[in-house]
Amino acid sequence: MRPNKNLIMKKLLLLLFIGAFGSANAQVIIDEADFPTAGDSFTFGTQQSGVDTLGISLGTTGTGQTFDFSMLNTDSLFTVGFYDPTVSPVLELGGSDFPTADMAVDQSGAYGFVEVNSGTVDVIGLGGDLGPQLGSPVPLVLSIPAVDPWTIFTFPSSLGTTFTDTAVFDQIASSTGLLPDAVSLVWDPAPDSVRIKRTVYMESTMDGEGELTNVIGATHDVLRMNVVETNVDSLWGWNLQNGWHEPPGFVPAIIGLPSTSTTYRMRYLSEQLGYYVVEFETDENGAPQSATFISDQSQCCVGIEEVIAAGQTVLFPNPASDNIRVRTGGDIYQLNIMDMSGKLLQAERLTIDGQTVELNGLANGLYVYQMLDEAGNVAHTGRMSVIK
C-alpha cells in the first residue's frame, strides 16, 4: 500500500512561492524587470522541525530591522530552477499546454508555469511528472490549468504594499496512480476518473524592511512579506454506476481531500538575489514552525539512510545540465542512470559524500537513477531531468 499522501495540488501549490524585486538606495521596490530569467537557479535548505526551539525573532513591522537567521539547520537540500517553457523536456512536461507562459519554475520535476506582466506575476498552470509526489512507481505527467490564474506579486511593490487574490485550479484525470490503494476499500466502486479543484485565497502585505544574515553568513537587504493563504480543496469521482459524486466519509482521512486549510508564511525577499532568501511557515500566532532558506552543501546534511528515511533530496541539482552532486553519507555506492524504459546509460562509483558526476552528454529528458550499496542492493531510486 502506498503511503497516505495528499493529491496533486496539496503537494505542488506549496512549492511555488516566487519572489523578485528591484532596488533603490534605501527602499526595496518590486518590479517585473527583476524577476529571475531562464537559466537562473537557487539552492535551498529546509528545516522541518525544531525551528520553534531556536529562539528566532521574525522581527516587527517597519524599516531599519535586523534579521539574524544564521542559526537555522540545513536538514536537506533542493534546487529551484527557472526555465524556458518552450524547450525540451519542459515542453513535453506541460509547457505545450501553456503557450502564453513566460517562465517555468521547477522543483523536483514539477513546474509552475507563470506569466510575467507589467503589473503582476501570475501562475497560469502546473505540470510535470507528478509521480514522485504521489508515490507512483510510474511517471504521471499531468497538466493542471488555472481557471482563474494565481497572482503572487503585483508591480510595483514596496513597504506597505498589500494585495489579495483568488485563484482556481481545476483538473479531471484518470484515477490510476493518483489514489492510494486503501481508497478502494472504502470507495466502492472505485472511481475511474477524479476531479480535483483547489480555490486559493491569498492575502499579502509587505510589512517590513531591514538587513538579514543567512545560514552561510551572507547579508541581504530584504523586504518582509506577510502572507495568509487559505486553500479549499474539493474532490469528486466518476464511474458508470454513479456518474460524478463526492467520496465517502472515510476518504478525507486517507488522502486529505476534500479539506480546507489556512497557512501562515513570512518571506524575506533579497534585494541582491531578486528572490526570497528565507521563508518561515508559522502558526496562527506567528511562531515559526518550519523554514526554507538559501543554503549550500557546506551546511548539509545527515547520512543517506536518514535522508532517504525522511524522503529528502539525495541528488542535486535536479533538473541538471552538465553535472550532478550526490550525497552518500560517506558510504560507497554505485550510481546507475537509466532511460524511462530501464536501459542503463551510465554507471558511476561513488566514494565521496557530495561527489560530482559528469552527465557524459545525456540528452535533454527524464531519467531514472538507482544507488546500489556494496552488496548490490538498491538503497535509493528516483527520477532526474536534464535540461541544457
Instruction: Tell me if 215 sits within 8 A of 70, measured CB to CB.
Output: yes
Residue spans of alpha helices (H) in the chain: 8-12, 131-134, 183-186, 251-255, 304-309
Dist CA 216 CA 71 (whole Å) = 10
Q: What letters, b where the CB count within 10 A reaches 16 and e where it falls short, cover 207-232?
A: bbbbebbbbeeebbbbbbbbbebebe
Query: Which residue type sits at 5?
Result: K
Amino acid at site 282: T
Cα(17)–Cα(112) distance, integer angstroms? 10
Q: Can you tell me the distance from the alpha carbon of 346 to that of 360, in angstroms, rounded to the nearest whole number? A: 8
Domain 303-386 has CATH 2.60.40.10: yes
For residue 242, the tally of other CB atoms under 10 A from its CB is 11
Collect all residues with Cβ–Cβ distance below 8 Å to 196 and sequence separation of at least 6. 7, 8, 9, 144, 169, 170, 171, 173, 233, 234, 235, 257
pLDDT in tens, the chain (388 residues): 334 334 434 334 434 433 333 333 458 887 887 788 888 988 898 888 889 889 899 999 999 999 999 999 887 778 888 999 998 888 887 889 999 999 999 865 678 999 988 889 899 998 877 655 555 555 667 788 999 999 988 888 889 999 999 999 998 988 876 777 778 778 988 899 999 899 999 999 999 999 999 999 999 999 999 999 999 999 999 999 999 999 998 888 777 788 899 999 999 998 888 789 999 999 999 999 999 999 987 787 655 666 665 556 788 888 888 888 887 776 788 999 998 888 899 999 888 777 889 998 899 888 999 888 877 877 888 888 888 8
A 10 A CB-CB count for 46 gives 21
Q: Longest Cα pair distance anywhere in the chain, in angstroms?
A: 66
Residue 309's pLDDT is 57
Burial (CB count <10 Å: 0-12, 13-18, 19+), residue 344 = exposed
**pTM of this prediction?**
0.72
Domain ranges of the chain: 8-298, 303-386
Closest by CA to 89, choosing from 371, 365, 374, 388, is 365
